[in-house]
Structure 1
Amino acid sequence: MKVIKDISEAVNSTNVKPGSVIYTGGNAATPQTLLQQLVKDKSIKKVELISILLLGDIQELFSKESCQRIKHRVIFSGPYSRKALNEGLATYQVMHLSNVPFQVKNYLKPNVVFIQVSGPDKGGNYSYGTTVEGVQAAVNTAKANGGIVIAERNRQMPFILGTTIDESNIDFLIDTDYPLPVIPYLRPDETAHKIGRLITELFITDGCTLQYGIGKVPEAVTDAVIDKGIKDIGIYTELFTDSMQKLIEKKIVTNKFSDVNFSISSIFLAKDKNGYDWLDYNSSVQNRPCNFTNNILRIAQQHKMIAINSAIGVDLHGNIWADSLKGRQIYSGIGGQADFLRGSILSKNGYGIIAMESTTNNGISKIIDMCPEGITTTAIAADPVVIVTENGAFNPLGLNLAEHAIGIAHLAEQNTKEMLLRKIYDSPEFYKPREALSDKSPKGFIPYESIEK
């Protein structure tokens, strides 16, 4: 391992030759110094860059000029890559998070890896810090095929226990010191609290294992779990956030029914520096690669696995989409949603849950008759996914397609619900839909008012 002072000693057209395939860490561990040099050095060209949600000061990486030199393969899009993707300047690499390491090793085959690390520990091992996902597979693939690994050791990166990289596998190391990207805290409003209460009252009990992400609804679920007095929770997730830290600090998380006594995640994000500092050498959490955390069979083995994810929309059949606004208008990515939905359904007494507000901020219904043409779905009608909005919860188990449609329509806001129910009733395709116009709650649907009694 060569420790360098000037980043150009490592990131240059000699090491990153035309035809190179680069894999970069992402999320809070986006190696910003390395990527900034990739933008700065115009002699680096005709290379590919594989990424998962790049954050931080890297906007120029997706400029029109940069995209002419760098072919982006974006597995999960963020605020900087979204415009480039939808203007044909970058490519969308569609895959489940669980499958990233396999495809990296066997198909994408990077020969250059950019990472951010902390450490070393007393054994000479560096932590991958807040992001493992497919990074370990990329490192192993590059080293097995004569490639190079370039790391920046950020003074502010926590040493998260679990998956590490030996110093012998790092070719170049440069020391940096800058704040990690943070996620804004979104205070739950009454709509989010209704969703959180529904999920907690109906599906979360003592000893459950939880997976959820960031946003108002996860925060509301956390508050509801605390208010309900639930105990002995386990955490097995792809993304660890401040709300989960809160449950650990309140001793609600014990991982009593897990194989290990610590929470497991592949990616870590926090709302401030204190959240990242809390992770440093903290034995209550460990990181793992995403082919471990998102393995459907491992998810299924968790005790009463409750996976809570959000979506952009759902149609009357129960098709769910989360990565796109239209068929080819990419917003984010498949991520691990399908992994956790399907794994949790296989868990004994587990549930895969889609939690979302019934309308957008602009008042547009997220519940529609038919999904947009060409849309990528993270769950199809045959997946027994529970759908929850502020209006109620719908469980499709045991129901036919007409009963799906009627129950899902009841999740919508009042005007949309009435319109959809009339459409169901008037449609010749649905079997005996008279129940559509009934005042009674349909099969599989539990209204919010029922948990308030």
Structure 2
Amino acid sequence: MKVYEEYKKKLCTPQEAVQAVKSGDWIDYSQGCSFPTALDCALAARRDELRDVKIRNAISCRPVQVVEQDKERQAFTYNLWHCSGLDRQYLDQGRAFHAPMAFRNCGSYYSRGLAPVNAAMITVAPMDARGNFSYGLTNCCQQEVLDAAEVIILEVNPHMPVVYGMENDHIHISEVTHVVEYDGSLCTAPGRAATESDRQIAAHIFPYLYDGMNLQLGIGGIPNALGELIAASDLQDVGMHTELMSDGYLQLYKAGKITNKRKRLQRHKGVFSICLGSAELYEFLHYNQDILSAPMSYVNNPEVIRQLDNFVSINGCIAVDLYGQVSSESAGIRQISGTGGQLDFITGAYMAAEGKAFLAMRSMHADKHGVKHSHIVPRFTAGDIITTPRTQAPYLVTEYGVAQLAGLTTWQRAEALIAIAHPEFREMLIQAAAAQGIWRQSNKR
């Protein structure tokens, strides 16, 4: 059968497609820009006739209708591998649940049968003449999800760019159960403007950067501020190998800083696994032969990262204690984010020749009552999730400086961390360190 005839045979409305969902099913929306907007709305409309339908997603960028239309969770249970700001609201309101994972392993949960999928619903680019649909902005663990699915429903969106991949970058019409069409905007997440604190932190990291480095950046104000510094600098021949490509990288490409010329793997090619940013970034990726998408099992594999000499990883965190334990995903028991690829890149960067990993945060914040709280704490006692263990603690950075923790004793770590804490909290932290037996009498106050 010719591919266009097969396409027409499988084409249906979103309402018809979601009839494949049964009570008790597990549904997968994939992650980020693969979110199936029309199918989500159609599935939500079946709220009164379904029960115990479990949906997985990550990094929601627009209101999720199976959540919005079923606030009491009578029909749908929403589960998240990783969290956006919107997802954080859903978690705070008791309308979603978090699924802990390390990004490099996420695909294996599907391939090993640990994450069953009755129906997968994902957004893809329009079909080409050979019957293939590009996964576009999300490679991640897309293939593992589809391989595990009993039913595959594609939401074809003309705005999804065609992105070349190392592997697992498309699906053929013959493997698809249903096709629906939706001409609406993709999820976007424009970069947050850098604050003065972000710029101060970025300025402390910048001296550690150099020509020919392979760069992994997280998302947020600090990476954006660092991108501004790099774009305006004399740095040359930067390489890109990152789990998430954001507008910070677009800025570096436009400034001519990223050439990928010195990479040992995929020379002349930037590599990412998920893209989330502006419409301009998506247009930049459309049929761009300089950039490849790749599965998270490859991008985040420490053994792969090890082979990229001069690897520099820069991510954010929430808090660190005086022992060097790092929490990057919760404040107490309140889920803020997820492990994502932080530990993957910290591990791989340390293994790489001349590699370095940085975790950055503001030194303190003020709550809604104006009470100040230090992000460097004596010890974690309120159920905070430890994302990076003290045995792998990398460079920690605040607006007051950089603390390199690897190889340091407990008293040296306490001294280094207190030195980059907010000045208003240093005396308290010294007293706590002394009470905890990790403050040497010769340490300076």
Tell me if both proteins adopt one fold, taking TM over 0.5 as the criterion: yes
Structure 2 partner of 1:154: 157
Structure 2 partner of 1:248: 253
Structure 1 partner of 2:283: 277
Task: Give the AA of the match of 1:391.
Answer: Y
Aligned counterpart for 2:99 among listed residues 93, 97, 100: 93
Q: Is the 8 A contact 1:212 1:309 kept in 2?
A: yes
Task: Give the AA of the match of 1:370.
Answer: R
Query: CA offsets per residue over residues 76-98 of structure 1, 9 Å max, x none?
Result: 12344334434554332111111
Q: CA deviation at 1:436?
A: 3.8
Distance in 2 (alpha carbons) for counterparts of 1:337 and 1:325: 17
Name stretches of at least 5 consecutive residues in structure 1 with no aligned partner. Answer: 438-453
Query: CA offsets per residue over residues 411-430 of structure 1, 9 Å max, x none?
Result: 11111123212332x32612
1:61–1:231 distance in 2 versus 1, CA, 3 Å: same
Q: CA deviation at 1:39?
A: 0.9
- SS of 1:257's partner is coil
Return 427-436 or 222-231, whichever deviates more. Answer: 427-436
Query: CA offsets per residue over residues 185-217 of structure 1, 9 Å max, x none?
Result: 32323321221121121x211111111122211
Structure 1 partner of 2:424: 415
Structure 2 partner of 1:336: 341
The number of equivalent residue pairs is 427
Structure 1 partner of 2:142: 135
Name stretches of at least 5 consecutive residues in structure 2 with no aligned partner. Answer: 1-6
Distance in 2 (alpha carbons) for counterparts of 1:415 and 1:253: 40
- After superposition, residues 6-21 of structure 1 pair within 5 angstroms as 6-12=13-19, 15-21=20-26
Q: Is the 8 A contact 1:25 1:51 kept in 2?
A: yes
Structure 1 partner of 2:218: 213
Aligned counterpart for 1:395 among listed residues 388, 404, 409: 404
Aligned counterpart for 1:309 among listed residues 315, 318, 321: 315
Q: Is the 8 A contact 2:414 2:439 kept in 1?
A: no
Task: Give the AA of the match of 1:78.
Answer: S
Q: Is the 8 A contact 1:62 1:81 kept in 2?
A: no
- After superposition, residues 343-382 of structure 1 pair within 5 angstroms as 343-360=348-365, 362=367, 363-382=372-391
Q: Is the 8 A contact 2:242 2:273 kept in 1?
A: yes
Q: Is the 8 A contact 1:39 1:66 kept in 2?
A: no
1:56–1:390 distance in 2 versus 1, CA, 3 Å: same
Structure 2 partner of 1:71: 77
Query: CA offsets per residue over residues 154-185 of structure 1, 9 Å max, x none?
Result: 11111111111122222111111111222233
Distance in 2 (alpha carbons) for counterparts of 1:228 and 1:84: 41
Task: Give the AA of the match of 2:28.
Answer: Y
Q: CA deviation at 1:435?
A: 0.9
- SS of 1:188's partner is coil
Task: Give the AA of the match of 1:151.
Answer: L
Task: Give the AA of the match of 2:121.
Answer: F
Return 65-74 or 192-201, whichever deviates more. Answer: 65-74
Cα RMSD, aligned residues only: 1.9
Distance in 2 (alpha carbons) for counterparts of 1:173 and 1:214: 33
Return 181-190 or 299-308, whichever deviates more. Answer: 181-190
Aligned counterpart for 2:239 among listed residues 222, 230, 234: 234
- SS of 1:37's partner is helix
Q: Is the 8 A contact 2:237 2:259 kept in 1?
A: yes
Distance in 2 (alpha carbons) for counterparts of 1:317 and 1:119: 52
Distance in 2 (alpha carbons) for counterparts of 1:298 and 1:127: 24
1:314–1:62 distance in 2 versus 1, CA, 3 Å: farther
Structure-1-length-normalised TM-score: 0.89
Distance in 2 (alpha carbons) for counterparts of 1:332 and 1:398: 28
Task: Give the AA of the match of 1:211.
Answer: Q
Q: Is the 8 A contact 1:358 1:390 kept in 2?
A: yes
- SS of 1:99's partner is helix
Q: Is the 8 A contact 1:358 1:413 kept in 2?
A: yes
Structure-2-length-normalised TM-score: 0.91
Task: Give the AA of the match of 1:189.
Answer: T
Q: CA deviation at 1:314?
A: 0.9
Query: CA offsets per residue over residues 24-79 of structure 1, 9 Å max, x none?
Result: 12212211111111111122322221111222242552555462212333211234
Return 2-11 or 125-134, whichever deviates more. Answer: 2-11
Q: Is the 8 A contact 1:234 1:256 kept in 2?
A: yes
Structure 1 partner of 2:329: 323
Aligned counterpart for 1:111 among listed residues 101, 112, 118: 118
Structure 1 partner of 2:442: 434
Task: Give the AA of the match of 1:75.
Answer: W
Q: Is the 8 A contact 1:257 1:303 kept in 2?
A: no
Distance in 2 (alpha carbons) for counterparts of 1:122 and 1:356: 48
- SS of 1:174's partner is strand
Distance in 2 (alpha carbons) for counterparts of 1:418 and 1:254: 47
Aligned counterpart for 1:167 among listed residues 165, 170, 173: 173
Task: Give the AA of the match of 1:309.
Answer: N
